[in-house]
Each structure stands twice: as C-alpha cells, then as structure tokens.
C-alpha cells in the first residue's frame, strides 16, 4: 500500500476522493488498471473513429509513445503514427483531411514539428528517427507502437515488418545506439539533480514533484528522469536479444508495455527475474505519481507541485538507478 502523511496534502486544492483514488492501490495494481482497462478502452474509441476512414492498402495507423505502452493519462493527447508502404500513399494527408487540420490539432498530439510522424518503408530514412530527424533517435516510437487501423492481415504484417526493421536498425546502427546511451546519461543526470534542461522536475529536499505545460518552464516531473531512464535502458537491453533470437521472432513476441518488456527480457535471460520485479514495481510507482500530478494539473490548469513520500521515493529511485546503470 502506498503510504502518505495526511498533512502532505493540506495545501492542495484537490478533493479527498482524488487523493484516495491514486493511493488506495499499490503501484502494480494501479499499473494493471491503466494498461488493462483504461487505455484499451480509450484506444477502442479512437479505433472506431479511424474505421470510418477509407485508407488505401499499404497504410497502417498506430499510436506511439505512452499510448503504445498503454500507460497514457488523459491529460496527454494521443499521438497517431502512420506506417505506409510508399510515401505516395499520403496516409498522413488522408488523416488530416478526414478530421480537418485544425480539429486534428485539437484532438491529437503532433509533437514539436506540428505534423504527423509518418514512416514510409520505401525510403531509406531509419525508422528510429522521430519525424525523420537524425537528431532525434527514438526507436521505441515504432518498437512500442500499438496498431489501431486496419487490423487486417496486411495491416498487421505491415506492423510486424516495421517492428522487425526497427530492431535490425538498433542492432547494426552504432549511431542510434550511441544516441540511446546519450539520452540515458541525460535522464540519469536528472535523477541526481532534479532538473532537466535546467528546469526543475522534482525537489528531493522539499519532497515535491513539478509539472507544467506552460513555456518556458515546461516540466514533466518524474517522467523525464525515472520513467524515461527505464524505457531507454530497455531499448539498449533489447539489442542483446539478437544474440539468441531472430528479430522476426522478437517483433512478433515482445510486448509493447514497459512491464511486459521487463518480463520478456527476464524470460530471455537478458536480465534477472529479481531485477525485472524490482524495476517493474519502481516504474509503476513513478508512473502512478506522475499520473497523479497530471490529474491535478488537468483540474487546476496551472503550474503544479505535488508532494511525494520520501521513503518510497528513496526505495524506488534506487531500484531504477541500479537498473539503468551501464
């Protein structure tokens, strides 16, 4: 059971029901609720909308990021990612035309570029590059994407080939692996300093987490350090699977959820079972706390700080620091 002192919440303009809803489940139970019920229901609703679109053969619409991992909070917009056999199919244009460009921006996240991340398999641009930008190597966007439409044999084949190609890129492209290590180092620094790009994300001395979607002090709290550190280390560890498994097999078998990937790596003897269990509980706790502050921000719509239990923070941060070591 997550423990919190009542006086930690006295100065917050939130209801007792909200405090209870985020603290009456242990982290693993909370994670299960989010990934097994809440997110699948949300994605089913989006799928029903997408089914109304007449997509040409060779186009697949999936969700990326936290949606693909089935751990999104409602404060975050869903981001769609388009996979297509050929760039001439214009799957991204079809999506925007269906919803309307302005309405699409209201409904969905388009990232910093303001466009839909579209991967065309007939091009030589690595799928690991977000929006085709070589400076932003995030293979987990396609590795952990969750397919939505169409869920036909050809659509799922496109999904699996994209995952397999991403895995192959990660294993052979040293620059991608180097960028993943650089990202992990950055997140590990944030775990120590409580800052990301000089913006506070948490303060251990005050036992508070920060969240704001207002520039220039944009802050995503525990996500930027602890959650992303686990995600990036998982990407690096996944490369090790190539010594014992075929990439086609991994593309078919490996879950998209974070805790599912930890279990998969443990079963493949890439990490120990004990490491998987400890990291999973720690990740779930930080996700629970991150969702909590997102919920408060969703209600108040202003820069938010939220207290956390320092004892639990110490325990779970040590687990993630240990897991994320090179």
- pLDDT one-digit tens code per residue, 1-20: 333 333 333 444 555 555 66
Q: Kindly state the average pLDDT of the residues 90-114.
A: 91
Q: Indicate the pLDDT class of residue 258, thresholds 50, 70 and 90.
A: very high
Q: What is the pLDDT of residues 271-320, one digit of tens each?
A: 999 999 999 999 999 999 999 999 999 999 999 999 999 999 999 999 99
Q: Indicate the pLDDT class of residue 21, thresholds 50, 70 and 90.
A: low
Q: What is the pLDDT of residues 208-255, one digit of tens each?
A: 999 999 998 899 999 999 999 999 999 999 999 998 999 999 999 999
Is 284 within 8 Å of 63 (Cβ atoms)? no
User: Rounded to the nearest 5°, which phi and psi values hold at 256?
Assistant: -95, -20
Per-residue pLDDT, 111: 74
What are 11's two structure tokens?
């100065």
> How many CB atoms within 10 Å of residue 185?
14
> How many CB atoms within 10 Å of residue 215?
6
What are 66's two structure tokens?
């936290």
Is 146 within 8 Å of 256 (Cβ atoms)? yes
Q: What is the pLDDT of residues 120-158, one digit of tens each?
A: 999 999 999 999 999 999 999 999 999 999 999 999 999
Helix-then-strand count for the chain, H and E: 15, 10
User: Rounded to the nearest 5°, which phi and psi values hold at 73?
Assistant: -105, 150
Per-residue pLDDT, 6: 35
Is 207 within 8 Å of 7 (Cβ atoms)? no
Residues 6+ apart with CB under 8 A from 11: none
The whole-angstrom separation of Cα 66 and Cα 220 is: 13
Name the 3-class secondary structure at 232: helix
Running DSSP on this structure, what letter comes out for residue 77? P
Percent pLDDT > 90 in the chain is 88
Per-residue pLDDT, 79: 95
- Residue 160, classified by CB atoms within 10 Å of its CB into exposed (0-12), middle (13-18) or buried (19+), is middle
Residues 6+ apart with CB under 8 A from 123: 87
Distances (CA, A) of 260 to 31, 255, 324: 11, 5, 17
């Amino acid at each position: 059971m997550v423990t919190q002192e009542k006086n930690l919440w006295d100065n917050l303009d939130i209801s007792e029901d909200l405090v209870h809803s985020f603290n009456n489940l242990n982290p693993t139970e909370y994670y299960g609720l989010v990934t097994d019920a809440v997110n699948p229901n949300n994605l089913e609703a989006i799928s029903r909308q997408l089914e109304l679109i007449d997509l040409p053969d060779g186009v697949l619409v999936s969700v990326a990021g936290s949606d693909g991992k089935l751990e999104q909070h409602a404060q975050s917009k869903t981001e769609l990612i388009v996979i297509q056999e050929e760039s001439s199919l214009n799957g991204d244009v079809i999506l925007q035309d269906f919803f309307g460009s302005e309405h699409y921006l209201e409904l969905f996240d388009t990232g910093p570029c303001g466009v839909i991340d579209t991967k065309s398999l007939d091009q030589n641009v690595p799928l690991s590059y977000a929006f085709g930008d070589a400076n932003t190597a995030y293979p987990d966007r396609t590795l952990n994407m969750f397919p939505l439409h169409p869920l036909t044999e050809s659509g799922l084949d496109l999904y699996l080939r994209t995952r397999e190609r991403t895995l192959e890129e990660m294993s052979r492209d040293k620059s991608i692996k180097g960028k993943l290590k650089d990202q992990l180092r950055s997140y590990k620094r944030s775990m120590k300093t409580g800052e990301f790009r000089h913006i506070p994300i948490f303060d251990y001395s005050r036992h508070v987490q920060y969240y704001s979607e207002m520039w220039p002090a944009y802050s995503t709290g525990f996500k930027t350090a602890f959650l992303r550190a686990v995600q990036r280390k998982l990407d690096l560890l996944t490369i090790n699977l190539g010594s014992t498994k075929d990439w086609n097999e991994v593309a078919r078998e490996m879950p998209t959820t974070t805790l599912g990937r930890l279990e998969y790596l443990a079963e493949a003897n890439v990490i120990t079972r004990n490491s998987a269990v400890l990291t999973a509980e720690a990740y779930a706790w930080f996700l629970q706390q991150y969702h909590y502050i997102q919920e408060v921000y969703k209600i108040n719509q202003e820069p938010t700080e939220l207290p956390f239990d320092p004892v639990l923070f110490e325990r779970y941060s040590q687990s993630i620091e240990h897991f994320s070591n090179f």
